[in-house]
A and B are shown apart, each in its own frame.
Chain A
Amino acid sequence: MNSAAPSESTLASEPLTPAPLNPFPVRLPLLLLAVALLICIAGYVALTVPAGWFPSATPKVWSIRELTVTRGRAVSANDALLIRPSDASNTIIVSLAAPFRSASYPVIAWAAHNIPEDAEVRLLWSNDYAPAKVNAMPIPVVSGRLRGISPASDPNWIGNITGIALAIHATFPQPISVSGVRARPMGVLEVLADRFKEWFTFEGWRGTSINTLSGGADLQELRRPVLLAAAVLLAALMGSAWAFRTGRTRALPVIVGVLFFAAWCIADVQWMWNLTRQAEASIAQFAGKDAHQRRLAAEDGPLFAFIEHARSKLPATPVRVFMMADADYFRGRGAYHLYPHNVYFDPYRNILPPPERMHGGDYIVVYQRHGVQYDAGEKRLRWDGNPPLKAELLLAEAGGALFRIL
C-alpha cells in the first residue's frame, strides 16, 4: 500500500524490549520535586500570611449563641441560624459584640451557606479609635459560601475591634445559614493546616460528582494542581540547570518524565484516599443487603418503597402511567422505578399534560406534589386548575397516591 511501510520481517525483528533506560536518575528528580514543592509552599506562605508567621494568639470562635440577627428573621436549627430578610430591603445583618485586638487577628471567616452568588456581602466592624464609624470590606462568595478575608490590609483595622457584623444584600431564594464566625491569627502553621485540610476534606458522591470533582473541599485557597504544576516546572528548571552544568543533558527527558509522573502520583494519592473513604461509606450503607434492601437504603429509599407499593396495585402487563411530583428528582426517579410500565413524566418541568390527553385505564402516580385534589365521594381528581377527571384512588400513603382514570 505504501512504500514506507515496513516489511513483516522488519517488524518481527523489532526488539522485544525497550532500549535500556540508563541513565535512569530517579532520586534526583524526586529530590528536586521535594525541594521545588517546599519552595512553592514557602512562596505561597510568604504571599498569604497576613501578619506574623508564628503568632502567639489562638483563634477565637463564636457560635450562634453569641451572634445577634439585627436585620432579618432567624430560626435556629442544627447549630445554625436560618435567616431570611424581614423587609423589602432584602438585607440581612448578623452582628457580634466581642472585643479583640485587631493586630492579633488579621483574618475573619464567617461560616455561612446558601449565599446567592450575586449577593453583595460585606464585613462591617468598628474599633475603639473611632467607635461611631462603621467600616466595611467586601467578602467574596464562592459556591454559596463566604471566603475568609483579611481586613488587616484596611487602615481601619486598628486598635481593639469592638464589634463585627456580616451584611448581605441579595434576592434570597431560600434562607441563608450562618453557623458562626472565627477570628484567626493566621500564622504559617494555621495556613498550612488549612490548606492540608482543604485538600484532604472527604468529597463524597453527590449529584454533581458525575459532572465535576472538586478534589477536596469545595472552597480551596490554593488548588493542588496549580501547586504541583508550579513545582514540576520549577524542578524541571533546576534539573535542566543540573544537567547542563554536569554535561548530562541526555538524562533531561527522563528527569522531566519522572517529575511529572511523581507529581501526578501525589495528586492521585489524595484521590485514592478519597475513594477509599467513599468505599468505606458505601460498604457501611449497602454491604450485606440484597438488591431490594440496597434500593431501600439508597437516597430515594422512601420513594422507592412507595413506588413498590404502587406497582403492586398496577396490572402485571405494562400500562400507561403518568408520574407527578414537584421536584424534578422525584418525577424522574419515580418514573424510573415504574418501568417497564409505559411511564410519562416531564423531565424538566413540573407540569402534567391536560386531562383530555389521558383516558380510561391510564394511571397517575402522585408523589409530593402540591395542587392535586381528590374528591373521594365523587371520585374526581383535578390538578393545576384543570377540569376534574373521573378517577379511582388505589393507594394513598404519606406524600404519595396512585389513581386509576375511569
Chain B
Amino acid sequence: MEIIRLVLGLALPWILGVALMIAVRPPERSSGLPGEGAWIIGAGYLAGAFLLTLWMRALSLAGIPFGVAAIALPLVVMTAVLAAFAWRAAPASGLAVGGALRALTTPPVMQRIARIAWWAIIGWLALRFILLGIELGLRPLYPWDAWIQWATKARVWYELRTIAPFARAEAWFAADGALYFDASPEYPPTMPLLQAWTALALGRWDDALMNWPWWQIAVGLTLAIYGGLRSLGVAALPALAGAFFVASLPLANAHVALAGYADLPMAAYYSVAALAVLRWTRYRRWHDATTAAFFAVACSQIKNPGIIWTLTLLPGIAVAWWPRRGLRVAGVSFAAAALLLAFLAQTHPVLLNYRLHLDFDPQWAALGRSYFLLGNWHLLWYGAIAAAVLAYRQLLSPPLAPVTMIAAAGALFLFFVFGFTNARQWVADQTTVNRASLHFAPLAVIFMMLAFDAFSRRWQAAADPAPAVHPAPAAATGAPIGA
C-alpha cells in the first residue's frame, strides 16, 4: 500500500506536467514529429513538479494545511481538465505520450549497426537508472548541504503541514520560536516542497524515499535532451547519444544517488529553459516562448543563482529576435562586461559605500584539473571545446548563434564566479566548482551536439556537392529557416 501511495504521489506531477505540455501545444503539431513525445514527457515532469510546488505555496498562503487530499485532488482535477482540453483541441495529440514511448523503443529506420547502438544505449541508460534508483532508495539522506539547509525545511514543512518561515540567527532569536533556523534560510522552497510532498504521499517521513524526485528529474532531463535535440534537427542516434552524455555524467549521477542538493534540478530546469528558447528561435511558436518563460521563472525558484542563469538566456533570445543587430548587441554586451570586469579588477571604486573592486585571481590549475583530469565529467569539456573549434564557421550563423550566445553567457558567468569572487577558494579545494559547473554541463552537451551537427552537415555538404537524396534541414546548414 505504501509503495502504491508513493508511486501515485510521484506520478501525479509527471502526469500533470505532461497534460500541461500537451494542452499548450498548437493543435497542428502531430504526435509523430521527431522527439516531440520525449520532449513532452521529459519537460513535462519538470513542469508538473514546479506546478505542484506552486500549488503547495498557494495552499500555505491560504492557510490550508498540507494533506494528500488538499494537494492532490485539485491537481488531479486540473490534470483532467488539461487532458480534456488537449483532447478537444487535437484528438491526435493525446497520442503523443504513447507515441514517444513507442519512438524510444522502436528506433527510427537506420542501419543494423546503428540499431544495435541504439538498443545498447537504451539498455545502458536503463541499467544506469536502476543502479541510481537502488542507491537513492536505500541510502538515508547523506550529503552535507542536504541536511544542513534543504531537507531541514522539508522536515519542518512536512511535520507542520505548512511552510513555516526560516530566518537567520538574529531574526530567529528575536522571533522567540516563531521562526525556524538552518544554514541557508533564504533558499527557495521548491526542492524541499517536493521532498515534503513525497513524504506526504508516502504517509511518513523517510529521508531516502523522499528523494525520488531527483531520479525523476534525471530521467526527465534525459528525455527532454533527446526530444529537444531531435526537434532542433539532430538525427535520432546522435540525439540519443547527447541524452546519454548528459545521463552518464558522473557528477550528475552522484547528485541523483546522493540526492538532496538543488544543483541537478538547477541544471535540469536551466537546460530545459534553454532548449525551449532554442525551439522558439527555430520555430517561433508562442507556446515554446511561454514554455521557456515558465522554465526561466522556475530556474529562479530552484536556487538563488538561477536568476543569473536565467539572464544568460537573454543573449540567445536577442540574436534570434534581431537577427541583424542581435549579434552586434550581444558582442558589445560581452565586450562591455569584460571591460567592466577588467576596470573593477584594476581600480578601487566606491559607490554608496560599497567597495566595487574585484580581485582577479583565477585558479586555472585547479579548474583545469577539475574539468580535464578528474572523473567528474568524462570527456565533456574536451568535446565541447573540440565541437566549438570544428564548427567555428557556423557558431554565429542564425541557427547556431542562439545556443552559442547562451553558452558563451553561461561560460562568462562561471568565469566571473571562479575568477573574481571568493568562489575561487572553492575551485582550489574542488568543492563548489563542480557543483556550479553542473548547472551548465547539460547546456554544454546541447551546445556540443548542435555545433557538431552543424559542422557535420556543412562538411558533408561540402564533400558531396551533388544534391542529397535527403536534404538537410535548412536550419542546420546555416541558412535562415524558410529562406
User: For residue B378, which residues in chain A have a CB less than 8 angstroms away from its CB?
Assistant: 225, 264, 267-268, 271
| A21, B237: Cβ atoms closer than 8 Å | yes
Q: How many residues of chain A are within 8 Å of chain B by beta carbon? A: 87
| Bound-complex Cα distance A206 to B195 (A) | 23
Smallest distance from the beta carbon of B151 to chain A beta carbons, Å?
7
| Other-chain contact of A19, B159, B169, B390, B468 (Cβ < 8 Å) | B468
| Other-chain contact of B375, A210, A215, A253, A332 (Cβ < 8 Å) | A215
| A205, B480: Cβ atoms closer than 8 Å | no
Binds A, one of B252-260, B344-352, B400-408: B252-260
Q: Residue of B at shortest CB range from A339?
A: B155
Smallest distance from the beta carbon of A1 to chain B beta carbons, Å?
5
User: For residue A257, which residues in chain B have a CB less than 8 angstroms away from its CB?
Assistant: 238, 241, 452, 456
User: For residue B1, which residues in chain A have a CB less than 8 angstroms away from its CB?
Assistant: none
Q: Residue of A at shortest CB range from B458?
A: A253
Q: Residue of A at shortest CB range from B184?
A: A347
Query: Cβ of A333 < 8 Å from any Cβ of B?
Result: yes
| A5, B258: Cβ atoms closer than 8 Å | no
Of residues 201 through 234 on chain A, the ones whose CB sits less than 8 Å from some CB of chain B are: 203, 205, 207-216, 223-226, 228-229, 232
| B241, A344: Cβ atoms closer than 8 Å | no
| Bound-complex Cα distance A254 to B113 (A) | 13
CB contacts between A and B, total, < 8 Å: 264
| Bound-complex Cα distance A257 to B449 (A) | 10
User: For residue B9, which residues in chain A have a CB less than 8 angstroms away from its CB?
Assistant: none
| Other-chain contact of B33, A11, A209, A223, A343 (Cβ < 8 Å) | A11
| Other-chain contact of B208, A18, A26, A291 (Cβ < 8 Å) | A291
| Other-chain contact of B481, A6, A279, A340 (Cβ < 8 Å) | A6
Q: Residue of B at shortest CB range from A290?
A: B206
Of residues 18 through 35 on chain B, the ones whose CB sits less than 8 Å from some CB of chain A are: 26, 28-30, 32-34
| B470, A213: Cβ atoms closer than 8 Å | no
| B473, A14: Cβ atoms closer than 8 Å | yes
| Bound-complex Cα distance A209 to B252 (A) | 11
User: For residue B139, which residues in chain A have a CB less than 8 angstroms away from its CB?
Assistant: 205, 282, 286, 294, 298
Contact flags B195-208 to A (C-beta < 8 A → 1, else 0): 00000000011111
Binds A, one of B76-84, B175-183, B330-338, B413-421: B175-183
Q: Residue of B at shortest CB range from A20?
A: B470
| A332, B250: Cβ atoms closer than 8 Å | no
Known contacts A250-B460, A282-B135, A283-B134; A22 and B111 CB within 8 A of each other: yes
Binds A, one of B141-149, B220-228, B309-317: B141-149
| Bound-complex Cα distance A333 to B144 (A) | 9
Known contacts A8-B28, A19-B472; A287 and B138 CB within 8 A of each other: yes
| Bound-complex Cα distance A73 to B436 (A) | 44
| Other-chain contact of A357, B148, B173, B323 (Cβ < 8 Å) | B173
Smallest distance from the beta carbon of B1 to chain A beta carbons, Å?
15
| Other-chain contact of B140, A271, A295, A319, A344 (Cβ < 8 Å) | A295
Interface size class of B (residues with CB under 8 A): 35 or more
Known contacts A2-B284, A279-B134, A340-B160; A268 and B111 CB within 8 A of each other: no
User: For residue B481, which residues in chain A have a CB less than 8 angstroms away from its CB?
Assistant: 4-6
| B459, A252: Cβ atoms closer than 8 Å | yes
| Other-chain contact of A225, B151, B169, B261, B382 (Cβ < 8 Å) | B382
User: For residue A264, which residues in chain B have a CB less than 8 angstroms away from its CB?
Assistant: 245, 248, 378-379, 383
Query: Cβ of A336 < 8 Å from any Cβ of B?
Result: yes
Smallest distance from the beta carbon of B37 to chain A beta carbons, Å?
12
Query: Cβ of A278 < 8 Å from any Cβ of B?
Result: yes
Of residues 2 through 50 on chain A, the ones whose CB sits less than 8 Å from some CB of chain B are: 2-8, 10-12, 14-22, 24, 26
| B204, A291: Cβ atoms closer than 8 Å | yes
| A333, B131: Cβ atoms closer than 8 Å | no
| Bound-complex Cα distance A253 to B460 (A) | 8
Residues of chain B touching chain A, judged by Cβ–Cβ distance below 8 Å, are: 26, 28-30, 32-34, 108-111, 113-114, 117, 124, 127-128, 131-132, 134-135, 138-145, 147-148, 151-152, 155-156, 158-160, 169, 172-173, 176-177, 180-183, 204-209, 235-238, 241, 245, 248, 250-251, 253-255, 257-258, 261, 283-284, 323, 370, 372-379, 382-383, 386, 390, 398, 430-435, 452, 455-456, 459-460, 463-464, 468-473, 480-483
Can you give 24 contacting A-B residue pairs, CB < 8 Å? A4-B482, A8-B29, A11-B28, A11-B283, A17-B109, A18-B110, A21-B114, A205-B142, A210-B143, A211-B434, A226-B372, A232-B379, A264-B379, A268-B248, A278-B131, A279-B131, A282-B139, A287-B138, A291-B140, A294-B139, A320-B176, A335-B152, A336-B151, A340-B160
Pairs of residues from A and B, 9 with the lowest C-beta to C-beta distance, nearest first: A215-B375, A18-B235, A19-B470, A253-B456, A340-B159, A5-B284, A250-B463, A210-B143, A336-B147
